[in-house]
């Protein structure tokens, strides 16, 4: 049998590497979840602002653009359908790692707002 000195150090180094990779994946997934929530909030606020502006006779999509931008999102689309407004907002992942190849792209959310008819 050969000398086993140093084998524990190699094992510990690989275990530490695995732990670091797991932590990095957890941080990235947490960032993706946060971006998704931010996108949904920005879409909701933008749709409400746009619907309020349309109800007052103004330009709804301009209001949606301002609100999406103020909430850290980018307005992807805005469609006024009568008194209803449908918006789509995109938020980039906070760490910005190139994860498009594994299916993690920017967070996207949509929202609809308009008057309530009874």
The predicted-structure confidence for 42-96, as pLDDT tens digits, reads as follows: 999 999 999 999 999 888 999 999 999 998 899 999 999 888 999 999 998 876 5
Q: Number of structural domains, the chain?
A: 1
At residue 115, the 3 state secondary structure works out as coil
At residue 1, the 3 state secondary structure works out as coil
In a domain, 2, yes or no: no
In a domain, 85, yes or no: yes
In a domain, 78, yes or no: yes
Tokens matching residue 41:
């909030």
Give residue 106's pLDDT: 86
Q: How far is residue 100's CA from residue 1's CA, in Å, rounded to a whole number?
A: 48
In a domain, 45, yes or no: yes
Give residue 40's pLDDT: 95
In a domain, 118, yes or no: no
In a domain, 40, yes or no: yes
Mean pLDDT across the chain: 86
Give residue 25's pLDDT: 82
Percentage of the chain modeled with pLDDT above 90: 53
Tokens matching residue 48:
């409400």
Q: How far is residue 103's CA from residue 32's CA, in Å, rounded to a whole number?
A: 11
């Amino acid at each position: 049998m050969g000398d086993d000195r140093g084998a524990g150090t190699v094992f510990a180094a690989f275990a530490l590497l695995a732990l670091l990779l797991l932590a990095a994946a957890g941080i990235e997934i947490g960032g993706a979840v946060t971006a998704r929530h931010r996108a949904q909030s920005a879409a909701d606020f933008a749709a409400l602002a746009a619907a309020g502006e349309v109800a007052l006779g103004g330009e709804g999509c301009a209001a949606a653009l301002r609100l999406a931008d103020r909430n850290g999102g980018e307005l992807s689309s805005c469609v006024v359908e009568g008194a209803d407004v449908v918006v789509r907002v995109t938020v980039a992942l906070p760490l910005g790692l190139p994860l498009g190849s594994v299916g993690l792209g920017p967070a996207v959310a949509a929202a609809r707002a308009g008057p309530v008819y009874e």
